[in-house]
Amino acid sequence: SAAEKGGYDYFMLKEIAEQPRAVADTLLGRIDATGRLTLDEVRIPDPVLREVQKIVIVACGTAFHAGMIAKYAIEHWTRVPCEVELASEFRYRDPILDRRTLVIAVSQSGETMDTLMALRHAREQGAKVLAVCNTNGSTIPRESDAVLYTRAGPEVAVASTKAFLTQLVACYLVALWFGQARGTQWGDEVTAVVRELADISAKVEQVLATMEPVRELARSLSDRGTVLFLGRHVGYPVALEGALKLKELAYMHAEGFAAGELKHGPIALVEAGVPVVVVVPSPRGRSVLHDKMVSNIQEIRARGARTIVIAEDGDEAVVPYADHVVRIPQTPVLLQPLVATVPLQVFACELATARGNDVDQPRNLAKSVTVE
Ligand code: G6P
């Protein structure tokens, strides 16, 4: 009913709008006033954490993209090797697991069969499993050694939005907590990240308030056959997520690429008028990533692409090569997906609606897939 949708036409629109609150709730009480992580609820004792030699993240769909981003944060902040794998591939390749492996299973529903089977396999091999889950008491957290709940609230629309942002927050918290337990040197960068997390909800709100041009652009592209997405570093999984959303909702051909791979094949797809959405890394921080991306935008523009550029406030270097610039607030490099994903959700939702699709119930898809 309309009341359930909080006045929105679709649950998806409501859930996109709820993201600032979902992010804030997921952080609540988990960082103290001195900037220390307080995740006692995750009942893994420090000595066990200190013994971990490898982290493996397993998930499906949008949760897998959250896992891909988590890998960057975990390895950078903890220096513990981290792999991320599609849950449906994981157990069939005889993965190397032992009691010093920590497996993180990321799942909104907590009922995805592929993810459940992956974690059962991991536990049989003696690995410890931590669930990052949005549904209290669901099967995946019940069968795991420990759980960190995301607090997105019930997600009804099939395509995941607010759960994704909270999965990112939860994974950042796990990475920071892990680093803390292992005595990783807390440099200025990490201190800044902890401080920035407190502001991230307001930044998501700020993005949501500036989405009208994105919706207009989406409507203007509703008759296209394909949209490409490019990203680098943590922007790469964001590009994959943008493409997945468009497939799921608009039933359009869409693909996400690592921008550095363009020259190894995908650039052959770029022809006059093809819309390419580019997620541009911050020019601050690791600016080499930014500069490489600006070259990539030039390359595709020279081949006639219609460039839709998602760039930080103040990043003027992209302007000469962008047909459309979508501004996002400045964040630390690793946190950018929390703001950069939002315009892609809005874009896919609006484009799908313009094509007459029901974004809450896309064809052939289920909210939670309980078969392998
Ligand atoms: C289904 C949904 C996706 C979701 C995936 C994983 O395929 O349609 O939106 O990302 O399952 O779901 P989970 O509940 O494990 O996060």
Does the pLDDT at position 212 exceed 80?
A: yes
- Nearest Cα residue to 283 out of 328, 239, 315: 315
Does the pLDDT at position 37 exceed 80?
A: yes
- Nearest Cα residue to 229 out of 61, 327, 70, 343: 343
- 0.90 surpassed by complex ipTM: yes
- One-character DSSP codes across 240-263: HHHHHHHHHHH--EEEEEEGGGGG
DSSP secondary structure letter of residue 309: E
* Distance separating alpha carbons of residues 302 and 267, to the nearest angstrom: 11
The whole-number pLDDT of residue 285 equals 75
Average pLDDT estimate for 278-307:
94
Give yes or no for a contact between 17 and 46, defined as CB atoms under 8 angstroms apart: no
Residue 110 Cα distances to 107, 124, 126, 142, 267, angstroms: 5, 19, 21, 9, 38
Distance 296 CA to ligand 1 centre (A): 32
Q: Which two tokens stand for residue 194?
A: 């902890």
- Positive or negative, the CA dihedral 269, 271, 276, 281 is positive
* Distance separating alpha carbons of residues 64 and 234, to the nearest angstrom: 13
Q: Which two tokens stand for residue 314?
A: 């103040």
The whole-number pLDDT of residue 157 equals 92
Of 70-74, 142-146, 196-200, 268-272, the poorest mean pLDDT is in 268-272
Does the pLDDT at position 317 exceed 80?
A: yes
Q: Which two tokens stand for residue 316?
A: 């003027």
The whole-number pLDDT of residue 297 equals 97
Distance 230 CA to ligand 1 centre (A): 23
> What would the pLDDT profile of 104-144 be if each residue is shown by its tens digit?
999 999 999 999 999 999 999 999 999 999 999 999 999 99
Which of 74-78, 178-182, 187-191 shows the highest mean pLDDT?
A: 74-78
- Nearest Cα residue to 231 out of 278, 168, 289: 278
pLDDT band at 181 (very low <50, low <70, confident <90, very high): confident
> What would the pLDDT profile of 150-164 be if each residue is shown by its tens digit?
999 999 999 999 999
DSSP secondary structure letter of residue 51: H
Average pLDDT estimate for 165-185:
92
DSSP secondary structure letter of residue 127: -
Distance 243 CA to ligand 1 centre (A): 15
The whole-number pLDDT of residue 135 equals 97
Query: What is residue 346's three-state secondary structure?
Result: helix
Pocket test for ligand 1, best of 11, 16, 60 (most atoms within 8 A of CB): 60
The whole-number pLDDT of residue 90 equals 95
- Nearest Cα residue to 16 out of 363, 249, 356: 249
* Distance separating alpha carbons of residues 332 and 190, to the nearest angstrom: 10
pLDDT band at 46 (very low <50, low <70, confident <90, very high): confident
- Nearest Cα residue to 289 out of 318, 252, 329, 266: 318
> What would the pLDDT profile of 221-280 be if each residue is shown by its tens digit?
999 999 999 999 999 999 999 999 999 999 999 999 999 999 998 888 999 999 999 999
Catalytic residue among 5, 247, 292, 367: 367
Query: What is residue 52's three-state secondary structure?
Result: coil
Average pLDDT estimate for 206-227:
97
Q: Which residues of 248-257 are buried (b: 16+ CB within 10 A; e: fewer)?
A: bbbebebbbb
Does the pLDDT at position 86 exceed 80?
A: yes
Does the pLDDT at position 322 exceed 90?
A: yes
- Long-range CB pairs of 33-38 (<8 Å, 24+ gap) are 35/191, 35/194, 35/195, 36/180, 37/173, 37/176, 37/177, 37/180
- Positive or negative, the CA dihedral 17, 367, 73, 38 is positive
pTM of the model as a whole: 0.97
Is 367 an active-site residue?
yes
pLDDT band at 371 (very low <50, low <70, confident <90, very high): confident
Distance 365 CA to ligand 1 centre (A): 9
The whole-number pLDDT of residue 2 equals 74
Does the pLDDT at position 1 exceed 80?
A: no
The whole-number pLDDT of residue 22 equals 98
Ligand 1 site residues, Cβ closer than 6 angstroms: 60-63, 107-109, 112, 115, 158-160, 365, 367-369
The whole-number pLDDT of residue 348 equals 98
Pocket test for ligand 1, best of 64, 155, 247, 367 (most atoms within 8 A of CB): 367
Does the pLDDT at position 171 exceed 90?
A: yes
**Average model confidence (pLDDT) across the chain:** 95
- Nearest Cα residue to 347 out of 229, 199, 246: 246
Going by alpha carbons, the residue nearest to atom 15 of ligand 1 is 107
Length of the chain: 372
Strands 101-107 and 128-133: parallel
Strands 54-59 and 101-107: parallel
* Distance separating alpha carbons of residues 354 and 252, to the nearest angstrom: 12
- One-character DSSP codes across 225-244: SEEEEEE-TTHHHHHHHHHH
Angle at 280 between CA 70 and CA 104, to 5 degrees: 5
